[in-house]
Amino acid sequence: MPGSIRVKLCELCSQPAPMLYRVKYKEDGEWVFVCPECWPIISTDNPFYVYGGTWKAKKNKK
């Protein structure tokens, strides 16, 4: 659908963001989306941190 707006909220701060990182950050954690502002909080010195990709609100057309 052209022109559709996709929205997801950050798992930590609950704010919508145009770009979110898909990550695991707990030992038995599930995949969650976090914004670039919250990302350093969960990724720095975290042995359970796993990056799973980047989600963007605006998809590139091929």
Inside any domain, residue 3: no
At 59 the pLDDT is 74
pLDDT tens digits, one per residue of 5-62: 788 999 999 999 999 999 999 999 999 999 999 999 999 999 999 999 999 988 766 6
Inside any domain, residue 10: no
At 3 the pLDDT is 57
Task: List the one residue out of 17, 9, 13, 14 whose CA is nearest residue 56.
Answer: 17
Inside any domain, residue 35: yes
Inside any domain, residue 11: no
- Strands 19-24 and 50-56 turn out to be antiparallel
Inside any domain, residue 14: no
Inside any domain, residue 52: yes
Structural domain count, the chain: 1
Inside any domain, residue 33: yes
Inside any domain, residue 6: no
At 37 the pLDDT is 97
Residue 21, SS3?
strand
- Within 10 angstroms of residue 12's Cβ, the number of other Cβ atoms is 16
Range of the domain at 41: 19-56
At 4 the pLDDT is 66
Task: List the one residue out of 58, 57, 52, 59 whose CA is nearest residue 21.
Answer: 52
Q: What is the pTM of this model?
A: 0.84
Task: List the one residue out of 33, 40, 29 whose CA is nearest residue 55.
Answer: 33
At 57 the pLDDT is 87
